[in-house]
Structure 1
């Protein structure tokens, strides 16, 4: 759908005045799809301060502002602001106002990559890959939530909790604002997990870790970073950083001690976190998209979000669009491009990715020669071009 008289203005996030910020708040509060912490202007403002290439598009129809799109650029590629850490993203629009993709009207942008594009209005996303957001509904309280979970799963977790207490001592849960040292500790353990599983280290570029630390500095009661911990006998066995915005909470970076794996400390901590959040008035906890099977134990499918590439094509009629779905390889390459704004960093990240693949799959690794490495490097460069 295309609307006449619509223009796109691109600005720095810091340039938004009181009027624009109030419109943002109104648009967001009018649509539950925008309740995620990633659409909270406080998140966007902090992310824009540390994210390379951060920009904000303002959609205007005449003198009226109809919507906002926070984003980052890598060459001529548009990505969600704070990618790859922003699980949900999209155009925050006035209620009842539908808008087709803005890409043809964003100067200097040739393609856009999304991984969790929240659909708002009557936007035709045919060609992109639909995925389900996964969420725990706490709106009726924790007991009602438990009533909707699998009885065998809950029985197993109660058994593991008893075994953990019997073998190691009292189990203690907490969920509070983290200190800077606690954030550093979680990220160090998360990076070790990433390296151990031969994935690309999204925190190696620096600005991503800085974003998490900046969020931890926020002192607002209804927004900011929170740290869930599970200790047994005084020993920390699981922890997870999450992001709060009003009545919505997003689980973000979990870790657990492998020596305690047989007790499922991560699952025990998640159940305790859900109980704690429900008691604090949180009505929904987000688990991201439906990529991991374990999420089905805790959460149910919610709204559809979209993944894929939107590309501008030049035709005799002017700007035309092509929409393509996402793939696992594209997702991994996208993380590298998102973290590394420069070609040198992208090539270094690509080399690290190939090295991880070679370690994880030795037979495949034997065939990963210089040709494939150069091909990936060229692909990274072309994606951002």
Structure 2
């Protein structure tokens, strides 16, 4: 194995084409977060992004996109934002993960959404489900499954949609729009949600807003940003911004206007989104790792992602272990215990309300 390092913008068209070819050859890699366009766009905004190009003789057999931080700490591209992480490589190509880290100048590589089948994985790493909406049989087949397994949710969502239209006006769904105005409306709802629930507001970082704007403008057969909004009487009610490959739509930023909360606008929107996505060739909507009630109600399957780290022996890896691993294990314990999770969620929402009052 030979490894060369490059900034994303330094990749030539032949390398980008090879990346896309390797990705499309393996269903486990069918996530837009693993597409070359995503890494290149993030690299335009963050100078810590690198790409390791892996060779077997004269042939390119893999790409390993990562961020390199001080002390040789490696993280996935746009760490903390992405629901699929890892390297894109030829099937059957194996490597020593620690040698890869050495070639990349890394002491540690930390991840929390590593996709299945990665040579970076071992039995020590924690596995987590990533729920999906399976549309490979079409939208009608999906709703047939919903009626069978989540019949109450499906019927009540349709009933609330009819009630919303009776009380507020005609419903319209705008799928895959490229208009910036509804995007900013959606991001405003998301910021309010972060603050209301005590979470960190991601869109307080200008580079993340710019990233989303650039991805919205990126459109090709194999990769695009997808913004869709539901309107009632031409007033925006709910929406979502995500990314797609040819056949997978990655859920990313869903939100809604809380004025319409009693109608379950998020569920209304997700059903409308699934219908339009299926009509546009999408076979899977990956809703991402995480315990959310709406995911449980809408899912018809799941993928698997892993959390953990790969490290070389050294002082930097030891310091990283002390700073990060105990925190991660504590978080995992809370997430796995329904009582602890509910208590933590309630505490965050209380904090969010207090913060809103103090900032108001």
The TM tier, using the shorter chain, reads: 0.7 to 0.9
Give the superposition deviation at 1:140: 1.0
Give the superposition deviation at 1:221: 5.2
Q: TM-score normalized by structure 1?
A: 0.78
Contact 2:101–2:108 (CA<8 Å) still a contact in 1?
no
Gaps of 5+ in 1: 1-5, 316-321, 331-354, 363-385
Q: Within the alignment, does 1:18 sit opposite 2:13 as a pair? A: yes
> Who is 2:285 aligned against?
285
> Who is 1:27 aligned against?
22
> Who is 2:153 aligned against?
153
Matched position secondary structure for 1:289: coil
Matched position secondary structure for 1:109: coil
- CA separation in 1, counterparts of 2:211 and 2:330? 25
> Who is 2:139 aligned against?
142
> Who is 2:40 aligned against?
45
> Does the C-alpha gap of structure 1 residues 99 and 295 become closer, same or farther in structure 2, counting only changes over 3 Å?
farther
> Who is 2:84 aligned against?
88
Give the superposition deviation at 1:167: 1.6
Contact 1:98–1:120 (CA<8 Å) still a contact in 2?
no
- CA separation in 2, counterparts of 1:358 and 1:152? 30
Contact 1:134–1:287 (CA<8 Å) still a contact in 2?
yes
> Does the C-alpha gap of structure 1 residues 173 and 327 become closer, same or farther in structure 2, counting only changes over 3 Å?
farther
Contact 2:31–2:248 (CA<8 Å) still a contact in 1?
yes
Give the superposition deviation at 1:222: 4.9
Q: TM-score normalized by structure 2?
A: 0.83
> Does the C-alpha gap of structure 1 residues 358 and 57 become closer, same or farther in structure 2, counting only changes over 3 Å?
farther
Aligned residues: 329
> Who is 2:55 aligned against?
60
Give the superposition deviation at 1:284: 1.0
> Who is 2:124 aligned against?
127
Contact 2:196–2:352 (CA<8 Å) still a contact in 1?
no
CA offsets 1:319-338 (integer angstroms, 9 cap, x no match): xxx996944759xxxxxxxx
Matched position secondary structure for 1:281: coil
> Who is 1:334 aligned against?
none
Give the superposition deviation at 1:268: 0.3
Gaps of 5+ in 2: 316-320, 333-346, 355-360
Contact 1:129–1:324 (CA<8 Å) still a contact in 2?
no
- CA separation in 1, counterparts of 2:294 and 2:109? 30
Contact 2:225–2:242 (CA<8 Å) still a contact in 1?
yes
CA offsets 1:322-362 (integer angstroms, 9 cap, x no match): 996944759xxxxxxxxxxxxxxxxxxxxxxxx97993598
> Who is 1:8 aligned against?
3
